[in-house]
Amino acid sequence: METFGASVTASPSELTEAGRAALAADPDSPGSLGLAISEAVEAALGSGGTAKYALGSVLNHVLLHQTIIGQEAQLQMELAEDYPDIVIGAAGGGSNFGGLALPFLGEQLRGGRSVRAVAVEPASCPTLTEGKYDYDFGDTAGMTPLTKMHTLGHDFVPPSIHAGGLRYHGMSPIISALKELDFLEARAVPQTACFEAGVTFARSEGIVPAPESTHAVRAAIDEALACKESGEEKSILFSLSGHGHFDMQAYIDYFAGKLKD
């Protein structure tokens, strides 16, 4: 971002009331997506109207925008003359997983083939697997509207893990509702197991996955191994949502044995 002229300030910062409050409570605070949202909204509101803030990931309209991914996947499956039995995506706020899974779940709800949809989240931030289904704020400071979702509490600060994009306390209302109605499964996995899967994928396919993406890779490998054990044949579709070329330090730490669950 700085290469293209932007100024970047890490959250929590001393530039906003929300950031200063977090640092006063814990000078070593690792921050969170919720806190970063609070700081960004505060900065936009204090700009005198020159700045705008667009809230992403967790909001329903963002998931609907992201479904271009699932629609393209449906066309790819048609080209392969196949259809997935299992659809897997990493889950932080919900747009990654929802973008892939919603078109297939929509097809199922219209009377088409059913799929097992599996949302995979970090064990350190288990929103779907451990969170409460309730109204909560989308940011730490409580500046955003209340949203009905699975949440760990807007003041929850997840441990610092390399899959930073998944460190969010809440989950999209659409994904949360589908979970409540048993249209999808949720699974929480620790980061060392995810990086192990990421390395396996890289050595097999020649692509180093982003830390967030390794969560989906982990679940896909586990599902494939379960099929191997049972002798069943299943088509498994997962989203390789990003490469890890900007996350080399994460892999360096993994190989150095510095990553902890």
Alpha helices, H only, 114-190: 127-130, 173-180
| DSSP assigned state of 50 | S
For residue 117, what are the contacts with CB-CB under 8 A and spacing of at least 6? Answer: 86, 87, 88, 97, 101, 104, 105, 178, 183, 184, 185
- Record the pTM: 0.93
pLDDT bin (cut points 50, 70, 90) of residue 54 is confident
pLDDT score of 56 more than 80: no
Task: State the pairing for strand pair 116-122/86-90.
Answer: parallel
Mean pLDDT across 225-229: 98
CATH number for 60-255: choose from 3.30.565.10, 3.40.50.1100, 3.40.30.160, 3.40.50.2000: 3.40.50.1100
pLDDT score of 108 more than 90: yes
Please answer whether residues 163 and 122 qualify as being in contact, where contact means their C-beta atoms are separated by less than 8 angstroms.
yes
pLDDT bin (cut points 50, 70, 90) of residue 159 is confident
pLDDT at site 77? 98
Mean pLDDT across 244-256: 92
Please answer whether residues 85 and 163 qualify as being in contact, where contact means their C-beta atoms are separated by less than 8 angstroms.
no
Q: Where are the domains of the chain?
A: 2-45, 60-255
Task: Using CB atoms within 10 Å of the CB of residue 181, give its burial: 0 to 12 exposed, 13 to 18 middle, 19+ buried.
Answer: exposed
pLDDT tens, position by position, 192-222: 999 999 999 999 999 999 999 999 999 999 9
pLDDT tens, position by position, 175-196: 999 999 999 999 999 999 999 9
Q: Which long-range contacts (CB under 8 A, 24 or more apart) does 102-110 make?
A: 102/63, 102/64, 102/67, 102/70, 102/174, 103/67, 103/70, 103/71, 103/73, 103/74, 104/70, 104/73, 104/74, 105/178, 105/183, 105/184, 107/74, 108/183
pLDDT score of 21 more than 90: yes
